[in-house]
């Protein structure tokens, strides 16, 4: 690999609700022997998703970076030298966030707190206090957003404008096919790579309705085409090569520089 | 039809370069006997696309609303009572724009001047002096953007935030499949209808390289699904029913109101 090529990856998995040690061990086994410059794990990969209420979310939330989950992420990143972006429930005093821990080579880089909460998450978590973050490691610039942030084009756009080569996108997707299709457009319109690491399987924690996660974790390239796809169900490690020469070239085939030719004077209503 | 249902349509066609009277007659024949609340015609439907230089564009450009083309649009809109959005070259003193005339029921409503020019259009036209417009007719709110504006998510977003039920999208698309796929996402993320009226066929005006337009004109609905599709080649009139109760409901299945839950404080970099 040259300096300008990086390996990017995502792990599709199905955590058992509430079994943090078991879920951590499962990921550790799944990535054993893998190498990557960036690894993305699903949203709330360590706890499961369907919290019954805020108290339950509180009971499974952890501080950053001292919590058990981030400590394990730090260890894995130190072993591999790579960056890891992984969803977890973050506790900060009385506040609770649906967050993504961002670590690299044994160092904590930040915790992104989901800005656009989905459905009942609004009962369990506080809305993220931003901004959308971009972190650099080994020359690779990684922007992070979580799951439902995808439906807001502003999210990926802000990350790309701030220099992201790749958007790390921990997810627990339940709307069939919507996001997987849309991420091709997010990649294309921003000329970046995207790594959507999704869950599979069904989680049913009454009185919440059963949720089936849609799998189909996907890496997309700056031309809007899939580079790697996971199946609908089953644990899967998806990976692809990222070339920064591509993600930093914002030209369409027409010769238009998509970023330089933006006209923000007409976007004021955003 | 109830007050809240409108018929929206697009005409896919292949103009002959430079033959404005012939192209106007062709459209008149194609829409004979049709009814619509909104009809979208392709970008530069009256002149063709591949201007050799600015002088040639100047020679085929017309003022708004006094030019021959807009006068014909006005007549057609008076006959049908509908709104028409149609691409043409606009002359305003020394300035030239790749524009869309917007008329309804015999009245000129405005001329949208393309904000994001594509490829060699930058040699022939001045960049649009905005804003992205939304016009209302018979209770239907129509936002207008032209062709390459699609790749900028800001364009459709601004139109939708300003109340568009439907995005009228005159086009001359040449990148295979890119836009047709993306318009499903533009419709979904904004919960609006879209009408992309595209050209088909090949135009070759040396020394410019031959351009093949991709056809596949498409109407999409707020759920991100196609409502009507034209073939890759051939004249085609695509139409669908628009319900404003759908385009004004910004809720995702999760109960999230996609517009009310935007968080512009984190979009400042746009």
Per residue in A210-269, pLDDT (tens digit) is 999 999 999 999 999 999 999 999 999 999 999 999 999 999 999 999 999 999 999 999
How many Cα atoms are found within 13 Å in the side-chain-facing hemisphere of B65?
A: 17
Per-domain residue ranges of chain B: 5-266
Per-residue confidence band for A165, with pLDDT thresholds at 50, 70 and 90: very high
Q: Do B118 and A254 touch (CB under 8 A)?
A: yes
pLDDT surpassing 70 at residue A100: yes
What pLDDT sits at residue A1? 45
A178, B188 contact by CB (below 8 A): yes
Predicted interface score ipTM higher than 0.90: yes
Answer positive or negative: Cα dihedral of B258, B259, B265, B270.
Answer: positive
Report the residue from A127, A131, A157 with minimal CB separation from B270: A157
**CATH architecture group of domain A5-266:** 4-Layer Sandwich (3.60)
Which residues of B, range 196-225, sit inside 8 Å of A by Cβ?
224
What pLDDT sits at residue B7? 98
Active-site residue, selected from the candidate residues A114, A124, A179, A203:
A114
Map tokens 């990222």 to a residue.
A242
What pLDDT sits at residue A3? 56
Measure the CA–CA gap between A225 and A185, rounded to whole angstroms: 9
Active-site residue, selected from the candidate residues A147, A179, A203, A239:
A147
C-alpha closest to that of B88 among B23, B135, B158? B23
What pLDDT sits at residue B1? 44
Measure the CA–CA gap between B199 and B181, rounded to whole angstroms: 16
Reply yes or no on whether B147 is catalytic: yes
Q: Is the peptide bond before A193 cis (omega within 30 degrees of 0)?
A: no
pLDDT surpassing 70 at residue A2: no
Measure the CA–CA gap between A134 and A116, rounded to whole angstroms: 17
Pairing of strands A193-197, A200-203: unpaired
What pLDDT sits at residue B176? 83
Chain A residues whose CB is inside 8 A of the B188 CB are 151, 178, 182
Reply yes or no on whether A147 is catalytic: yes
Torsion of CA A231, A6, A184, B259, to 10 degrees: 110
Q: What's the gap in Å between the CA of B49 and the closest CA on chain A?
A: 15
Chain B residues whose CB is inside 8 A of the A98 CB are none
Q: Decide: helix, strand or coil at residue B157.
A: helix
What pLDDT sits at residue A267? 98
Chain B residues whose CB is inside 8 A of the A130 CB are 263, 265-266
Nearest CA in chain B to A183: B185
pLDDT surpassing 50 at residue A39: yes
Which residues of A, range 242-261, sit inside 8 Å of B by Cβ?
252-256, 258, 261
Is B112 near chain A, with CB under 8 Å?
no
Q: Decide: helix, strand or coil at residue B99.
A: strand
Q: Do A130 and B256 touch (CB under 8 A)?
A: no
Active-site residue, selected from the candidate residues B90, B121, B147, B239:
B147
What pLDDT sits at residue B166? 98
Q: Sheet containing A218-220: give its strands across.
A: A134-137, A140-144, A166-170, A193-197, A218-220, A226-229
Report the residue from B130, B154, B266 with minimal CB separation from A130: B266
Q: At CA A193, angle to CA A189 and CA A197, rounded to 5? A: 115
Q: At CA B226, angle to CA B222 and CA B232, rounded to 5? A: 145
Pairing of strands B134-137, B5-12: unpaired
Write out pLDDT tens, residues B185-216. Answer: 999 999 999 999 999 999 999 999 999 999 99
Per-residue confidence band for A4, with pLDDT thresholds at 50, 70 and 90: confident
Rounded to an integer, the average pLDDT of A176-205 is 96
Q: What's the gap in Å between the CA of B253 and the closest CA on chain A?
A: 8
Q: What's the gap in Å between the CA of B219 and the closest CA on chain A?
A: 17
Chain A residues whose CB is inside 8 A of the B221 CB are none
Reply yes or no on whether A209 is catalytic: no
Torsion of CA A270, A146, A148, A154, to 10 degrees: 10
Residue burial A75-100, b: 16+ Cβ < 10 Å; e: rest? ebbeebebbbbbbbbbbeeeebbbbb
Is A139 near chain B, with CB under 8 Å?
no
Report the residue from A115, A181, A266 with minimal CB separation from B130: A266
Q: Decide: helix, strand or coil at residue B211.
A: strand
Low-confidence residues of chain B: pLDDT under 70: 1-3
Tokens representing A233 are 């169900």
């Amino acid at each position: 690999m040259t300096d300008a090529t990086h390996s990017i990856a995502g792990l599709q998995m199905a955590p058992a609700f509430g079994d943090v040690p078991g879920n951590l061990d499962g990921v550790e086994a799944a990535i054993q022997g893998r190498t990557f410059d960036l690894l993305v794990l699903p949203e709330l990969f360590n706890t499961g998703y369907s919290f019954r209420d805020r108290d339950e979310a509180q009971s499974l939330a952890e501080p950053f970076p001292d919590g058990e989950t981030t400590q394990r992420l730090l260890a894995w990143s130190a072993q591999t030298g790579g960056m890891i972006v992984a969803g977890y429930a973050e506790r900060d005093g009385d506040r609770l966030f649906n967050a993504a821990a961002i670590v690299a080579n044994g160092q904590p880089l930040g915790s992104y707190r989901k800005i656009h909460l989905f459905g009942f998450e609004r009962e369990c978590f506080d809305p993220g206090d931003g901004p959308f973050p971009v972190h650099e490691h080994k020359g690779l610039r990684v922007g992070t957003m979580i799951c439902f942030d995808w439906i807001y084009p502003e999210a990926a756009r802000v990350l790309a404008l701030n220099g992201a080569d790749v958007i790390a996108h921990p997810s627990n997707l339940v709307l069939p096919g919507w996001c997987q299709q849309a991420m091709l457009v997010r990649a294309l319109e921003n000329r970046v790579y995207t790594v959507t690491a999704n869950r599979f399987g069904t989680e049913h924690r009454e009185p919440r309705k059963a949720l089936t996660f849609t799998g189909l974790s996907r890496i997309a390239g700056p031309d809007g085409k899939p580079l790697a796809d996971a199946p609908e169900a089953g644990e899967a490690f998806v990976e692809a090569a990222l070339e920064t020469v591509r993600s930093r070239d914002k030209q369409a085939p027409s010769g238009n520089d998509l970023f330089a030719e933006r006209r923000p004077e007409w976007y004021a209503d955003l």
